[in-house]
Amino acid sequence: MTVTPHAVPEAPVAERSSLRDVVSAYVALTKPRIIELLLLTTVPVMFLAQRGVPDLWLVVATFVGGALSAGSANALNCVVDADIDQKMRRTSRRPLPRHQVQTRSALVFGLVLGVISTLWLGLFVNWLSSMLALAANVFYVVGYTMILKRRTTQNIVWGGAAGCFPPLIGWTAVTGELAWTPFLLFLVVFFWTPPHFWALAMRYREDYAAASVPMLPSVTTSAEVGRQIVRYTWATVITSLLVWPVAFTGWFYPSMAIVLGIVFLIEAHDLRSRARETEQLSVIKPMRLFHFSNAYLALLFVSAAIDPFLG
């Protein structure tokens, strides 16, 4: 895979940077907070697939391999988007815009992480999980970052599919094969991603406009964004409930899916109502939905992990 970063002025990395500063900069390239969320949709699925506690070493191996793979994709994303990141206040403090890491070094770092993660998962988990992780990495960097992000308002809808692979990886790590349950969980994350990210993009819509990225909130009205958020939220909740009969879960998972889904829908409809009345972000409060969407996904997947113990 060849990654071609967009032109961005280089500046020498500070000569007196301490080892701690250098390590922190490289860690920041991997976007640890995003990795945390991805692993929250990987490890719980392993418990669901096992119908109990999976082998501890397998969990650790999948955790490490998944983190390395996601870190690789995020680092390569930083390389390709360096010119955009320096124009947006949300991303302007990342290592490349601040010249804490040279572009070539970040590129090599991302590629090396990708190779290590592929071999790690293949050797210590299985090659199906390894290939799924590699596919997610390539799709995120090439499909989303290099092709979709700068060309279409549907960028996060289709490009966000890269973040849906963790349930497939977690399931195949335990079973060695694919099934309908992880595909439904894949779809849960797929439908969840647009309302989650569009809420964040509403908060930073001026940034996306300045960087000429056609993220939906930067090119249309807040009312239209709110309408789309409601549509995808309904799809998320409905799909989450379909997991119940397909995965043959007990009572705990569907109970949590219903409660969490109701709150998610209330938040989405409230945002749409506020967006119909004004364009003022202080009134629309998009970050309220963004933060809850994080909690929704984490609690939903943890519920799926806990359910087998209560069945």
Last residue of a domain, one of 128, 146, 177: 177
What pLDDT is recorded for position 300?
Answer: 98
Query: Are 164 and 254 found together in one domain?
Result: no
Query: Are 138 and 66 found together in one domain?
Result: yes
Last residue of a domain, one of 161, 177, 193: 177
Q: What is the chain written as a DSSP string?
A: ----PPP----PPPTT--HHHHHHHHHHHT-HHHHHHHHHTTHHHHHHHHTSPPPHHHHHHHHHHHHHHHHHHHHHHHHHTHHHHTT-TTTTTSTTTTTSS-HHHHHHHHHHHHHHHHHHHHHHT-HHHHHHHHHHHHIIIIIIIIIITTT-TTHHHHHGGGGG-HHHHHHHHHHSS--HHHHHHHHHHHHHHHHHHHHHHHHTHHHHHHTT---HHHHS-HHHHHHHHHHHHHHHHHHHHHHHHHHT--SHHHHHHHHHHHHHHHHHHHHHHHHHH---HHHH-HHHHHHHHHHHHHHHHHHHHHHHHH-
* 238 domain residue, yes or no: yes
* 14 domain residue, yes or no: no
Query: Are 25 and 173 found together in one domain?
Result: yes
- b/e 135-173 (16+ beta carbons within 10 angstroms → b): ebbebbbbbbbbebbbeebebbbbbbbbbbbbbbbbbbb
Q: Which amino acid is at 168?
A: L
* 199 domain residue, yes or no: yes
Query: Are 295 and 205 found together in one domain?
Result: yes
Structure tokens at 140: 């995120």
Write out the residue range of the structural domain in which residue 100 sits: 20-177
Query: Are 159 and 219 found together in one domain?
Result: no
What pLDDT is recorded for position 13?
Answer: 47
Q: Which amino acid is at 180?
A: W
d(CA 272, CA 259): 20
Last residue of a domain, one of 135, 159, 177: 177
Q: What is the pLDDT along the chain (311 residues), one digit of tens a residue?
A: 445 555 555 544 444 568 888 999 999 999 998 898 889 999 999 999 999 999 999 999 999 999 999 999 999 999 999 999 999 988 999 999 999 999 999 999 999 999 999 999 999 999 999 999 999 999 999 999 999 999 999 999 998 899 999 999 999 999 999 999 999 999 999 999 999 999 999 999 999 999 999 999 999 999 999 999 999 999 999 999 999 999 999 999 999 999 999 999 999 999 999 999 999 999 999 999 999 999 999 999 999 999 999 96
The total number of structural domains in the chain stands at 2
Query: Are 171 and 203 found together in one domain?
Result: no
Question: Can you give the CATH number for the domain in which 269 is found?
Answer: 1.20.120
